[in-house]
């Protein structure tokens, strides 16, 4: 069986959404506290930073009634550049903001063992930086 799903933005669903078309005011966001992964955000508004080179935990879960047991695996990946996140917006410098899906593209492909592909299944996550120009 072959399943393929395309996600428009990173890390996933945190980067997708329905924000207005105008980017947020960089000066207003610069006044907010910046919380760097893996720190816990405070109550209220903040900017979340995924630092370059910092390992980011990515949890993978497989469950369902067709499985004999659930499975969980944690992978670690790191970004090549800092990414600042505020709701549906992303920035590489914390000053110039654009919709997250204009900065990062995420593609998830799942291939289960089947008649055509009897080998091991594959989960392939591709995270590409888009040219923000």
Which structural domain range is residue 87 located in? 2-129
For 4-72, the three-class secondary structure string (H helix, E strand, C coil) is EEEECCCCHHHHCCCCCCCCCCHHHHHCCCEEECCCCCCCCCCEEEECECCCEEEEEEECCCCCCCCEE
DSSP 68: S
Residue range 75-111, pLDDT digits in tens: 999 999 999 999 999 999 999 999 999 999 999 999 9
Per-residue pLDDT at 38: 96
Number of domains, the chain: 1
In this prediction, residues 39-56 reach a mean pLDDT of 96
Residue in 5, 13, 10 with CA at minimum distance from that of residue 127 = 10
- How far is residue 117's CA from residue 112's CA, in Å, rounded to a whole number? 8
Q: Which residue has the tokens 């893996």?
A: 38
Instruction: Give the global pTM.
Output: 0.77
């Amino acid at each position: 069986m072959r399943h393929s799903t395309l996600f428009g933005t990173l890390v996933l669903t945190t980067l997708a959404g329905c924000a207005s078309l105008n980017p947020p005011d960089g000066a207003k966001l610069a006044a907010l506290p910046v919380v760097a992964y893996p720190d816990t955000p405070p109550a209220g508004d903040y900017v979340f930073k995924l630092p370059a080179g910092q390992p980011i935990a990515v949890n993978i879960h497989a469950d369902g009634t067709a499985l004999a047991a659930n499975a969980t695996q944690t992978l670690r990946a790191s970004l090549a550049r800092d990414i600042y996140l505020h709701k549906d917006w992303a920035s590489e410098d914390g000053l110039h903001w654009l919709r997250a899906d204009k900065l990062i593209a995420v593609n998830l492909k799942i291939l289960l063992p089947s008649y055509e592909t009897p080998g091991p299944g594959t989960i392939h996550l591709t995270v590409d930086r888009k040219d923000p120009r």
